[in-house]
A = this chain, B = another copy of it.
Amino acid sequence: MVRKKIIILGSTGSIGTNALYCVDASPNAFEVIALSTHVNVDLLLQQAARYRPKAVAVTGRPLSEPEKNDLKSLDIRFFEGEAALVDMLHDKDFDMLVNAVVGAAGFMPTLAAVDKSVDIALANKESLVIGGEIVMPKVKEKNVRLLPIDSEHSAIFQCLMGENYADIEEILLTASGGPFRTFDDFKHITLTQALHHPNWSMGKKITIDSATMMNKGLEVIEARWLFDVPVEKIRIIIHPQSIIHSMVAFHDGSIKAQLGMPDMRVPIQLAMTYPKRQPSAFPRLDWTTLKELTFAEPDFEKFPCPALAIEALKTGGTAPAVLNAANEIAVARFIREEISFDQIPALIEKVLLAHDFVSQPTVEDVLGADQWARKYIGTRV
């Protein structure tokens, strides 16, 4: 069997380490060509020693001389700085990019992989949030498989296997509702409270996004591009148990759902092995203890973030890029405990109101809007 040559960007994060877990589970299926981290160089070096990639990239800080020597002794090339990811992708031959970069920094690597006609297992939702309008026509042109890793989008993707996308009546995006679904005092939510997700174990940024429900807003934008459906056909449904990962309703009245344990390794592995489903030893859903699945309507007054995202998607152009950048900075400031939880949506709205949108944006327009938003929000409270 020829092994699939993969590059995992963001290999030291939650998705990245689980992707490497999937490599371990199918050692004959994958050859790890390259890895990257933003700042977790220690773990990256451990991964490099174990998987012996041809190259690694570090985007968040320069490598020290001992670190460089470590890599040289293993005959591993290294790339540093902001352009490191794209430079590394251009330099290497590979069959699949696992893009698990956090935030807008994942956009250019996605574009680079599409340009090389390489399939992408996509965890970086920002690639589509900020650049869906740019990425998707190229994906079609280059005949690239864009395989979602997000549990919701993987669920939708699985529900659509063997189906005609034109038969979609509605995409039902399930949301746990996060830790504050039944909470009321949003002003005094602490960082510790916000970092405690009831069902999923994830990175910090996405955990806060779950708490504000901005994650669901970004997922609506991602779904709009991945499955080529208008925003009006995407509906958020609260499902606190996170067992049903999302659903698709078809125009004949039939609905399909994908479900299972909240375990990111299932969608990660499927994206990496598709069209094959690889047998796994991941824990199974236990029907003897699963008593009920419940559903509720989302409360967009209590959680303003999804409505902001949907509004930005409807505005189009550079609006989603501005929304995303403003959210990234707002969340970072909340994590640094500089702002309160309820200031996150308030700040994002301020930035959106101040932005002059560009429609049908170029890559430069999108990156410019992203930069503008980061600067603008940095100066506001």
Chain A positions within 8 Å of B, measured between CB atoms, are 158-164, 167, 172, 235, 237, 244, 247, 249-261, 263, 265-266, 269-270, 273, 277-280, 282-285, 287-288, 290-297
Across-interface contacts of A250 in B (CB, < 8 A): 277
Give which listed residue, B235, B280, B292, contacts A253 with CB less than 8 A. B280
Cα distance A214–B257 in the bound complex, in angstroms: 27
Q: Oligomeric state, in number of copies?
A: 2
Contact between A295 and B297, CB atoms less than 8 A apart? no
Give which listed residue, B158, B249, B283, contacts A254 with CB less than 8 A. B158
Contact between B287 and A295, CB atoms less than 8 A apart? yes
Contact between A252 and B277, CB atoms less than 8 A apart? yes
Q: A345 CB to closest chain B CB, in angstroms?
A: 25
- The chain B residue with its CB closest to the CB of A297 is B288
Contact sample, A vs B, 7 pairs, CB 8 Å cutoff:
A158-B254, A252-B280, A253-B283, A255-B258, A256-B256, A292-B294, A293-B294
Cα distance A290–B294 in the bound complex, in angstroms: 8
Contact between B284 and A253, CB atoms less than 8 A apart? yes
Cα distance A141–B164 in the bound complex, in angstroms: 28
Across-interface contacts of A255 in B (CB, < 8 A): 258-260, 285
Given A249-B284, A250-B277, A280-B251 in contact, is the A158-B256 Cβ separation under 8 Å? yes
Contact between B258 and A259, CB atoms less than 8 A apart? no
Cα distance A246–B278 in the bound complex, in angstroms: 23
Across-interface contacts of A269 in B (CB, < 8 A): 252
Cα distance A333–B2 in the bound complex, in angstroms: 64
- The chain B residue with its CB closest to the CB of A245 is B254
Contact between A257 and B257, CB atoms less than 8 A apart? yes
Cα distance A292–B239 in the bound complex, in angstroms: 10
- The chain B residue with its CB closest to the CB of A162 is B162
Given A164-B277, A290-B295, A293-B293 in contact, is the A253-B257 Cβ separation under 8 Å? no
Cα distance A288–B161 in the bound complex, in angstroms: 27
Interface centre among A160, A279, A282 (most CB of B within 10 A): A279
- The chain B residue with its CB closest to the CB of A282 is B253
- Nearest 4 pairs of A and B residues by beta carbon: A162-B162, A161-B162, A253-B282, A251-B279
Q: A121 CB to closest chain B CB, in angstroms?
A: 14
Q: A266 CB to closest chain B CB, in angstroms?
A: 5
Cα distance A261–B261 in the bound complex, in angstroms: 25
Given contacts A254-B270, A255-B258, A291-B295, 13 further A-B contacts (CB under 8 A): A158-B256, A160-B162, A164-B277, A235-B287, A247-B259, A252-B273, A252-B279, A253-B283, A253-B284, A254-B260, A256-B257, A291-B294, A292-B294
